[in-house]
Amino acid sequence: MLNPREQAILIWFVILILYALSQKNVRSTIPPLIKSLLKLMCHPIFMITIIYIVTIFLVMYLGRIIKVNIVKDYIVWIFSALFPLIHKVATEYSEISTRKIFFKTFKFSVIPLFIVNEYTLSIWAEIFIVPILFLIGALLVIAETDEKYEPVKKILNTLLIIIGLIFLTTAIKGFLANLHDASKIEFWLKMCIDFIGITLHIPLLILIKALSFGEQILIRTNITSRLDKIRAVIFIIYKCKLSKQLLLRILKSYEIRQINTIQDLKDALQRGF
The answer to whether residues 90 and 208 touch, using CB atoms and an 8 Å cutoff, is yes
* % of the chain beyond a pLDDT of 90: 8
Mean pLDDT, to the nearest integer, of 210-231?
81
pLDDT of residue 111: 75
For the whole model, what pTM was predicted?
A: 0.75
What integer is the mean pLDDT of 97-118? Answer: 76
pLDDT at 2 over 80: no
* Domain, as residue range, for 260: 220-273
- Average pLDDT for residues 204-226, to the nearest whole number? 84
Q: pLDDT band at 23, cuts 50/70/90?
A: confident
Confidence of residue 109 (pLDDT cuts 50, 70, 90): low
Strand boundaries in the chain, DSSP class E: none
Nearest Cα to Cα of residue 9 among 81, 80, 71: 80
In a domain, 209, yes or no: no
Residue 183 DSSP one-character state = G
Give residue 11's pLDDT: 93
Residue 201 lies in a domain: no
Residue 63 lies in a domain: no
Give the total number of structural domains in the chain: 1
Once rounded to an integer, what is the mean pLDDT over residues 73-93? 85
- The alpha carbon dihedral of 132, 138, 142, 143 has a sign of positive
Asked if residue 167 is part of any domain, the answer here is: no
For the chain, how big is the Rg over CA atoms in Å? Answer: 24
